[in-house]
Amino acid sequence: MKNIFSGIVFLAILGFSGCSMKLEQKLVRVPEISKFATAEIGQSMYEKYSAFYPVDINNSVELILDNDENRKKFSKYNSHTLYLKKTDNGECVGIGKNGFKIFTDKTCSKTFSNCYSNKLRLNCKVPYKLVTLKPVKITQQSFKYEVLYQGRTSDKINISFREFVGDKLGNLLIRSDFTQNIEYKLDKNGEALIGFKGLRIKVLKATNFDIEYKVLKDFQ
């Protein structure tokens, strides 16, 4: 799902293990309220996520490893979290959770041209794409609400609502007792209004493959 989040900062900025990256607790919504969005069956339609994120960073990064050489050298980075930060001199820098610089894109052209190993700068050519910002740290105060599209049967759509909470080990655990699957009937135009705990989602079109919609109102 190609969407951009909106975030609301509500706790103070924290330092991260003595490194250059600072964290702040944010309430992140994907997609933004009133933005057109799509999701396929089994994908998330809406997420509301409270956790610790990097300060002044808006996107995580996923490397596009389209050749054997890059896959061999850089596949390990896609199993970890990379963040993209734009510097004062106009460069886009890929940094890890520890705050250290790993890649540099001097022109912010979606291709890293330098990579760093043991403080050495090396030439490389690694395209990347921006993805939804991922949290750095999950605590017992963290939570996540998620809405999943589960498909269409005749004139009804099935929507799943799930809740997660953080534990002391930094994991998100599903609250199974709070998971609900609800059917909503489509009108003659193939549209519907999803309502659940204050959440309102306007369904514009739904098939057995995907759904088009707008989130009108957040959970209460």
One pLDDT digit (tens) per residue for the chain, 220 residues? 444 334 433 333 333 333 457 889 989 999 999 999 999 999 999 999 999 988 888 889 999 998 998 888 888 887 667 999 999 899 999 998 888 889 999 999 999 999 987 667 788 999 999 988 888 899 999 999 999 999 999 999 999 999 999 999 999 999 999 999 999 999 999 999 999 999 999 999 999 999 999 999 999 8
Task: Give the three-class secondary structure for 75.
Answer: helix
Q: Please report how many Cα atoms fall inside a 13 Å half-sphere around the Cα of residue 33, on the Cβ side.
A: 10
pLDDT of residue 113: 93
Give the number of other CB atoms < 10 A from CB of residue 150.
Answer: 16
pLDDT of residue 15: 35
In the structure encoding, which two tokens stand for residue 220, read together?
Answer: 């209460």
pLDDT of residue 75: 86
CA-wise closest residue to 148 among 124, 174, 169:
174
Distance CA 136, CA 125 (A): 26
E-strand ranges in 118-209 read 120-131, 143-153, 156-166, 172-174, 180-185, 192-196, 199-206
Q: Which sign does the torsion angle of CA 61, 66, 67, 68 carry?
A: positive
Task: Give the three-class secondary structure for 178.
Answer: helix
Phi-psi region of 75 (alpha: psi -120 to 50; beta: other; left: phi over 0): alpha
In the structure encoding, which two tokens stand for residue 151, read together?
Answer: 């498909």
